[in-house]
Structure 1
């Protein structure tokens, strides 16, 4: 088994460009070194709070930097998840918001602690959850995907299971044991059979969703980040007040 852990609990494991690049590099290294599944998890009370919001003002001010963050860093990480030869499993130890939830949705399998919470609140920042909107209708049903994307509510682990975001919900102290059981089931098959199964099951995500994702990320960079509403959403977030968007 290969393992990628987010270990910045002070910032709820929010990811900057280096973090996204490290995910892609870790998955590429695992593909070269092992035929085991890959587990992605977090340290502390969060799985991953998504993109580091503190980086947004700099991304808004510099389109080249924004391209590097979204189109190079973030896209490369999700491409690596979808195209990894073996299953990628999210062990969701806590809060999974924004791109954190998007990783759970993109992964092949997910096991969550019953204390975990889920949401994609990007619309409240004046932007979108591009990975979720690109992958959700491939991985989830139409109505469940819409519920997450449009309502921007916070969902419990059990609700996330009912909507198809996670496969299994367990007590926090059983999370590692439950993930080990999933891996044992996978390892009961030959690596070659699992690799071909992954390649076939990921066809739509690879061929349809990834191109949509790249287009969505470019829309974030060129249409949303320069907008007045993105500025307002970010200002409101830092001021801890509701945003007042232009209609």
Structure 2
């Protein structure tokens, strides 16, 4: 039985983590997720992905400790995209929305942080409890201080305390809080909105943001204007860029072809 369920609706792929009881991720699940997100990345017909989980209590608690006790090594082969198949997947230049339907802690919160937008059910809770088991939330230690105020990020990393969806929203970690019954409906609305947009522009935005993390502003601007980023070079020479300008001049909606 597959640990994930996928649903394809037009240009939107929904990936549902489905490993009762808690949707924890072992090595095999991580590899399946990596292959799924790689296939999404490489499919020209798909433009947006939604990542969520089965059930209403757990989004994902992260690493499967039972699998670890049975022999899964914490530093084993997570697959092409790293843990959860997404956070280290190279050239992921399409938008991904996380719909957090319950508890997201440890690696589960790190997985949500790998998405471009996060929607949360109003009962969702979050934590980075690794500190309590004598290990480090590695991806969160890299990402969280860049996403929310430094001192808040450090508090969450150093204490491992739990926080709710309202606090996550207050710090800008979550885009929207929704009733559980509305969560996936809203995620699909947002995905369809993005799917109707210009895919080459999205790709350029994602590559620029990724490359700019450790770059000086002027250095990054020089790379963009000189078309030294693959996605930017593709965009600037594309039919879609001409179509965007033409549609604006003709006062009509553009028809994006992704080329």
Structure 1 and Structure 2 fold alike (TM over 0.5): yes
Q: Which runs of 4+ in 1 moved over 4 A?
A: 69-73, 204-207
Offset, 1:195: 1.2
1:123 maps to 2:131: yes
Q: In structure 2, which of residues 187, 200, 208 is the aligned counterpart of residue 192 of structure 1?
A: 200
The separation in 2 between residues aligned to 1:56 and 1:204, in whole angstroms, is 36
Where in structure 2 are there 5+ consecutive unaligned residues?
1-11, 216-259
Counterpart for residue 74 of structure 1: 83
Farther off after superposition, 93-102 or 129-138: 129-138
Offset, 1:190: 1.1
Q: Secondary structure at the match of 1:40?
A: strand
Where in structure 1 are there 5+ consecutive unaligned residues?
208-247
Deviations 1:26-78 (A, max 9, x none): 1100012234111110001211111001233456xx8xx44324697528641
The separation in 2 between residues aligned to 1:206 and 1:76, in whole angstroms, is 23
Q: In structure 2, which of residues 177, 180, 191 is the aligned counterpart of residue 183 of structure 1?
A: 191
- What is the count of residue pairs matched by the alignment? 201
For the Cα contact (< 8 Å) 1:138–1:204, is it kept in 2? no
Deviations 1:190-216 (A, max 9, x none): 111111111112224598xxxxxxxxx
1:31 maps to 2:76: no
- Within a 5 Å distance, the mapping from 1:1-247 to structure 2 comes to 1-10=12-21, 12-33=22-43, 34-44=45-55, 45-57=57-69, 65-69=73-77, 73-74=82-83, 77-80=86-89, 83-204=91-212
Distance 1:93 1:202, change over 3 A: same
TM-score, length-scaled by structure 2: 0.71
For the Cα contact (< 8 Å) 2:35–2:85, is it kept in 1? no
Structure with more helix by fraction: 1
Max Rg structure: 2
Q: Secondary structure at the match of 2:88?
A: helix
Higher relative contact order (Cα pairs below 8 Å, separated by 6+ residues): 1
For the Cα contact (< 8 Å) 2:30–2:79, is it kept in 1? no
TM-score, length-scaled by structure 1: 0.74
Farther off after superposition, 49-58 or 65-74: 65-74
Offset, 1:123: 0.8
Q: Secondary structure at the match of 2:135?
A: coil
